Amino acid sequence: MNKSDVVQLILGDRYLKQPQQNQATAYAPTNIALVKYWGKRQQDINLPVTSSLSISLGDKGANTTLSVNNKNQDSITLNNQAIDLFSNFSQRLSQYLNLFRKPNSTYFDINITTNIPIAAGLASSACGFAALAKVLNELYTWQLTSTELSILARLGSGSACRSLWDGFVEWQAGEKSDGMDSFGVPLDIEWPDFCVGLLIMQTQEKNISSREAMQRTIQTSSLYSLWPEKVNYDLSVLKQALQEKDFALLGKTAESNAMTMHALMLSAWPPISYALPQTVEAMQKIWQLRNTGLEVYFTQDAGPNLKLLFLKKESEAIKNYFPEIEIVQPF
Ligand code: PMV
């Protein structure tokens, strides 16, 4: 089963038809996993070893416009700057679009605006591919459901399948080899006081992609066999914490899950560490603050930046201790 097979399964007789509109625009929020996806059971169509659970970041995300052009190549702008078509970024994007368009017949001007740094472990690919799946759905008038779009977004980047909804979303790993049961499911839980603080240490592109890092972890870490059990446990505790609005339990579970994911990477060979000295300093500051009674936790993805988790009542204190922080209220 490869990506085109999945697209054909979903689109049926709508596969490789011409776009019905000349232009469309769509937005998708980025999402931060509280229980992480780390490892694929199938590489090509991004089927995960485990389920995962995230929070979408509301107005932090990507807005993408696709316009059919009359040239014989795509053009791509990111925040109004032209992007080299041979860059990894452009290649990944054009290859994704190739799954849906007739070969050598349709090219696009792709304009992406985003208010999050690209490829710095802030899940820019998550909102990027979710927005692309949505905009293609408009342009080709496929009229797909959010669940179907979640599967298509997953083909671009696994975590993108959680960016089709606001709020808390679970990506159910599924069991099927075609991945038709592997998609995001929104949780019916609102938590207006829930805050995420973005502590950005570096916005440069990471030197090892999450794809490569995941694969190396699975292949070489002797600890990886413990991961599925840890995720299952964390998922059930996190869902309980969400039901009961038990913030301390949520924070502890999310932080412990992220630390375990990074421990797996440290135990891979060659070892992988996304942390910078500033990352470790910030972690230690958070642990110290917690010892003084401030309820703040963090999570970290495939990059050096931390996402702080806290409730609205702690916002002022957090701003005092981390003046550079950007606070997002997902609800
Ligand atoms: O979807 P990818 O390939 O960018 O991988 C995302 C991996 C993490 O962000 C580290 C974890 C997650 O669940 O989002």
The pLDDT value given to residue 202 = 77
Pocket test for ligand 1, best of 34, 218, 301, 305 (most atoms within 8 A of CB): 301
Q: What is the best residue among 210, 273, 306 to mutate for testing ligand 1's pocket, by most ligand atoms within 8 Å of CB?
A: 210
Whole-angstrom CA distances from 121 to 26, 182, 318, 319 are: 22, 23, 22, 22
On the 0-12 / 13-18 / 19+ scale of CB atoms within 10 A, 101 is buried
Q: Which amino acid is at 170?
A: E
Q: Report pLDDT for 123.
A: 61
Task: Note if the bond before 270 is cis, omega within 30 degrees.
Answer: yes
Biggest CA pair distance of the chain:
62
Ligand 1 centroid–CA 219 distance in Å is: 17
Q: What H or E segment, with its residue span, contains residue 48? A: strand 47-48
What is the rounded CA–CA span in Å between residue 46 and residue 320? 41
Contact 50, 170 (CB under 8 A): no
What pLDDT is attached to residue 88?
A: 87
**The tokens 């914490």 sit on which residue?**
241
Q: What is the pLDDT of residue 285?
A: 98
Mutate to test the pocket of ligand 1, among 30, 35, 38 (most ligand atoms within 8 A of CB): 38
- The distance from CA 92 to its chain's CA centroid, rounded to whole angstroms, is 16
pLDDT for the residue 286: 98
State the pLDDT at residue 119.
Answer: 52
- Report the amino acid identity of residue 237: V
Which ligand 1 atom sits closest to the C-alpha of 159?
A: 1
Query: What is the pLDDT, as a whole number, of residue 191?
Result: 98
Task: Look at residue 196 in the predicted model and tell me its pLDDT.
Answer: 97
pLDDT at 76: 95
CA distance 20 to 284: 54
pLDDT of residue 205: 66
What is the model's pLDDT at position 89? 86
Under a CB-based contact definition with an 8 Å cutoff, are residues 194 and 311 in contact? yes
Q: Which atom of ligand 1 is nearest the CA belonging to 52?
A: 13
Three-state DSSP class for residue 233: helix
Residue 56 near residue 324, CB atoms below 8 Å: no
Q: Are strands 75-78 and 81-82 parallel, antiparallel or unpaired?
A: antiparallel
Question: 115 and 60 in contact (C-beta within 8 Å)?
Answer: yes
Asked if residue 280 lies in contact with residue 268, where contact means CB atoms within 8 angstroms, the answer is no
Q: Give the Cα separation of 263 and 256 in Å (integer).
A: 10
Q: What confidence score (pLDDT) does residue 121 get? A: 52
Identify the residue whose tokens are 């412990």: 256
How do the pLDDT tens digits run along the chain, 331 residues long? 999 999 999 999 999 999 999 999 999 999 999 999 999 999 999 999 999 999 999 999 999 999 999 899 999 999 999 999 998 889 999 999 999 998 888 999 999 999 886 655 556 789 999 999 999 999 999 999 999 999 999 999 999 999 999 999 999 999 999 999 999 999 999 999 999 999 998 767 667 999 999 999 999 999 999 999 999 999 999 999 999 999 999 999 999 999 999 999 999 999 999 999 999 999 999 999 999 999 999 999 999 999 999 999 999 999 999 999 999 999 9
Q: pTM for this structure?
A: 0.96
CA–centroid distance, 190 to ligand 1, in Å, is: 23
Burial class (CB in 10 A: 0-12, 13-18, 19+), 22: exposed
Do residues 40 and 48 touch, judged by C-beta distance below 8 A? Answer: yes
Ligand 1 centroid to Cα of residue 88, in Å, is 18
**C-alpha of residue 196 to centroid of ligand 1, in Å:** 17
* Residue with CA at minimum distance from ligand 1 atom 8: 301
Instruction: Please state, in angstroms and rounded to a whole number, the distance separating the CA atoms of residues 214 and 48.
Output: 10
Structure tokens at 95: 């290859």
For ligand 1, residues with CB inside 6 Å are 33, 36-37, 52, 123, 125, 157-159, 210-211, 301-302
What was the pLDDT predicted at 124? 79
